[in-house]
Structure 1
Amino acid sequence: MKTKLVKVSDLKLGSVIANDIKANTQYPIIYKNTKITREHLPVLKAFQISQVTIISSPLGSNKIENEDDGLIPIEQENIIDSASIMPFERKYIDVVNKIKKEFINWESGSKVNITKVRTYILPLIDLVLENRDKIFTLNEFSTSEDYIYHHSVAISLICAVIAQKMGYSKGDILQIAIAGAVADCGMAKINKKIREKTGPLTEYEFKEIQEHPYYSLQMINSITILKQEMKIAVYQHHERLDGSGYPRGEKGSKISIFSHIIAVADVFHAMTCERIYQSKESPFKVLEMIRETEFGKFNIQVVQALMTCVTDLPLGSKVELSNGLEASIIFTNKTSPTRPVIKVVESNEIIDLSKYRNIYIERLILER
C-alpha cells in the first residue's frame, strides 16, 4: 500500500487516511481508512493538523468521482440546499393539532381511525428518517397544556428512528411508528382531572393511570392493519425488564422488543418535555440518565440505537451548552456520544465534554 503526506489545504474529498490521526483526546480524531468528507475539515482545523498521510491509490469504491482524477477538490465541492418548502416545525404542529382532534373524538367514545392517524403521521416519519437529528428538538415544540398530543406524535417519530437504526424493514418501521402514535390513546378514557392534576396522585388515581395501556389495547384490538405484535407492544410499553413496570409487572423475555422500542421513545420524550409538574430537560442529559440511572429496565440494544443517533450528528453541528455558550461539535466520543469534543464559538476554546461532567449539551441548534 502506497502512502503520501499531503497538506490539509491540498486534501481532496474522497482521500483515504492511511493512519489514525491523533490529538489531545482519548481516541483518534479520525481513524485509519476513513474517507475524507467535508465534515472532517473543521476537525483538522480545530486541532491544528497541517498535514496528513493518505493512501495514494485508493480503491474505486473509496473515491468521489469526477472527470479528472476521481476525487473532488474541496474548493470545488457543490453545496446542495436541502431546505424544505415548509419548515418541519410547522408540519409537526399541524399533525399535533390533527391528533388533538382525534383524541377529543376518542374522549367522546369514537373509535380509533387508524387510517387517519397513518395519513397524518407518514409525511413526518419520512422527514425524520432522512433527518434523524430532528428527534432532539421535539421537546422544544411541546407545551404543558397540549403535552399528551405532542407526546403521541413524538413517540411515533422516535420509534421510527430507533427501528430504522436497529435495521428493521420499512414495513416494520411504519408499523411500530403507528403503534407508537396510538400507544396512549387509552389516556382518553382516563378522567381529565386525573390526567391534568398538578399535585401528587392518590393511590386510586395512580392505579387508574396504570389502566391506560389496557384501554389502549381495547381501542385498537379490532384494527386489522395493525399487526398483533404491535398491539402487544402498545399494551406492554410501560413494562420494564426488572418487573417494575405495569400493568402486569412482566419481566425479561416476556416483554417484546417492540414494547421496549415504544417504552424508550416514551420515556425519552416524557423526560425531556415541559409538563404540568416538571420543567424541560436537555435531551442529551436525559439520554445519559436513561443509560445510567435506568440501567436494567430497558433493552440495551434499543437504548444503544437511540444513543447512536447522537454519534450520527454531523461534525460542525451547532449546540447550546448548559452554561449558555454556543459551540460546534468537532469530534464524537464513541464511548460517550452525549459528550463530544466541542469548540466554543465565542472563544474558540476546545472542550472535551467527557472530561468536564459539570458541562453538558443543553440543546441542538438546527437551521429552521
Structure 2
Amino acid sequence: MDTKLVKVSDLRLGSVIAKDIIANTQFPIIYKNTKVARDHLPVLKAFQISQVPVLASSIELEKANKQEVAATSSEQRETIEEAYITPFERKYIDVVEKFKMEFLNWESGSKVDITKVRTNILPLIHDVLENREKIFILNEFSDSKNYIHHHSIAISLICAVIAQKMGYSKGDIIQIAIAGAVADCGMAKVGKKIREKNGPLTEYEFKEIQEHPYYSLQMVNSISILKSDMKIAVYQHHERLDGSGYPRGDKGNAISIYAHIIAVADVFHAMTCERVYRTKESPFKVLEMIRESEFGKFNIKVVQALTTCVADLALGTKVELSNGLEGSIVFTNKTTETRPVVKLDGSNDIIDLAKNRSIYIERLIL
C-alpha cells in the first residue's frame, strides 16, 4: 500500500501507521497498522518524533468521512497538534480571538479601544521579551483564514523584541508593540473580498490595499495614550528606504525609525506564514532573504536587531533542518547568525550551515 510521510502536526487521530516506529528501543514504540490514538501522544512527544509514515488510504478515508467526522464530538476530532498545545500557544490563540472580535467591531464602524488591545496583548509581550526565541515559531500558529488577526498580534510581539534588542526603554517597547498591533487596523475598512482574494489584485484593488495605512492613521489619530511618533509609524510602516513603498513613496530619513521596526516585523511574519496563495516559509530563510534580496529597503540596524535574536538562541536548542534531520545548535557564528553549527541527533555528525548553504534551519523545536 502507498504510504505518506506526514509531520506530526498534520496528523489526525485515526490515521494508520504504515511502518513500525523505532526510536533507539528494543521494540517499536508504535507498531505497524496501529491507528493513532490519544494514548500515543506522550510516546511521540517523549521520543521527539517529528514525522511518521502513514497509510495513504487512511488519509483518503478520513477525507471521505469528513461529514461523519464533523458529526462526532470535538474530542474525537481533536488533532495531534491541538493535543500538543503549549501554555504560550493557548494564551496566544486566546489573544488572537479577542483581537478578531475587536477587528469585527472596527469593520462595523466602532472606534479603536486601544486600552483593550493593550490589556489583551501585554501578557504575551512580557512572555516574548523573556523568551525571544518564541518569535521564530509564531508562523506555526497562523492560518490563512484568520491571517490578518494572527498577523497583527505577531507584528506586535516581533516589534517588542526588536525594540528591546535596540535598547529602547520598557515604556517605548510597549508603545512600539501596541503601534504594531494596530498598524493594520485600517484593513477593516478595506473590502473583505479584496483582503481575502485568492489571486492577483486588479489595479483598483491594489490601490485600495495601499490606502489602509491612511485608514489606520484616521482610526488611531485621536487616541491620546498613543504617542504621535507611533501614529506616524503606523502611517509609514509600508514605506521603504529606496522610495518603493506606499502610501506616499517616502524615502531615507523621511521615514520614522519606529516605522522601520514595524515594517521589518510585518515583512518577516508575512513571508513566513501560510497564505491563500503560498505555503509557510522558514523564519531563518526569510531572515536571509530580508537581509540580502531586500537590502536597501529597510533600516539595517532594525534588520540586524532581529537577526541577532538567532545568535541569542541557547546552545543545545533543538532544530529541524530543511533536509528533515533534527539536531541541536552547538555553535553560533556571530557573522552568520542564521547559519549555526548543528550536531545531528543520534550521531556525532556535525553540519556547519555556513558551509552547507543548501541546508537551513526549517524550524525550532521548543
Fold match by TM threshold 0.5: yes
Alignment match, 2:287: 287
Higher RCO, 1 or 2 (CA under 8 Å, sep at least 6)? 1
Give the distance between the partners of 1:333 and 1:167, measured in 2 at CA.
22
- Which position in structure 2 is the counterpart of 1:323? 323
**SS of the residue aligned with 2:342?**
strand
SS of the aligned residue for 2:285 comes to helix
Partner of 1:185: 185
Whole-Å separation in 1 of the counterparts to 2:90 and 2:188:
25
2:357 match: secondary structure: coil
Whole-angstrom distance in 2 between the partners of 1:329 and 1:109: 49
The separation in 2 between residues aligned to 1:177 and 1:346, in whole angstroms, is 41
Answer yes or no: is the 8 Å Cα contact 1:273–1:281 preserved in 2: yes
Read off the aligned partner of 1:206 and give its amino acid letter: F
Structure 2: gaps spanning 5 or more residues: 1-85
Are 2:278 and 1:306 aligned? no
Structure 1 residues 114-193: aligned runs within 5 Å:
114-193=114-193
Deviation at 1:283, TM superposition (A): 0.1
Counterpart mapping for 1:221-240 below 5 A: 221-240=221-240
Counterpart in the other structure of 1:95: 95
Displacement of 1:319 in angstroms is 0.2
Structure 2 distance, partners of 1:118, 1:351, is: 43
Q: By percentage of residues, which structure has more helix? A: 2
Per the normalisation by structure 1, the TM-score is: 0.76
Q: How far apart are 1:278 and its partner, in Å? A: 1.1
Aligned to 2:335: 335
Counterpart contact for 1:163–1:173, Cα < 8 Å: yes
Q: 1:348 deviation in Å?
A: 2.3
Q: Give aligned-pair identity as a percent.
A: 82
3-state SS in 1 of match to 2:275:
coil
Alpha-carbon distance between aligned partners in 1 of 2:233 and 2:271, rounded to the nearest angstrom: 20
Shift of 1:279: 0.5
8 A Cα contact 1:264 1:298, kept in partner: yes
Aligned residues of 1:284 and 1:362 also touching (Cα < 8 A): yes
* Partner in structure 2 of residue 21 of structure 1: none
Q: Is the 8 A contact 1:326 1:346 kept in 2?
A: no
Distance in 1, Cα, partners of 2:273 & 2:342? 25
Give the length in aligned residue pairs: 282
The two structures have a TM-score, normalised by structure 2, of 0.76
For the 8 Å contact 1:328–1:345, the answer to whether it is kept is yes
Instruction: Give 3-state SS (helix, strand or coil) of 2:123's partner.
Output: helix
Matches within 5 A, 1:200-215: 200-215=200-215
Q: Deviations over 1:148-201 (max 9, x none)?
A: 000000000000000000000000000000000000000000000000100100
After superposition, the CA RMSD in angstroms is 0.9
Q: Distance in 1 between matches of 2:157 and 2:199?
A: 30
Shift in Å, 1:347: 2.6
1:345 alignment partner AA? D
Partner-residue secondary structure (3-state), 1:320: strand
Q: Which amino acid aligns with 2:257?
A: I
Q: Tell me the equivalent position of 1:361.
A: 361
Map of 1:270 onto structure 2: 270
CA distance in 1, matches of 2:350, 2:246: 45
Deviation at 1:346, TM superposition (A): 3.0
Instruction: Supply the distance in 2 between the matched residues of 1:201 and 1:312 (Cα, whole angstroms).
Output: 39
Correspondence 1:50-61 to 2 at 5 A: none
Unaligned runs of 5+ in 1: 1-85
Write the letter of the residue equivalent to 1:127. Answer: D
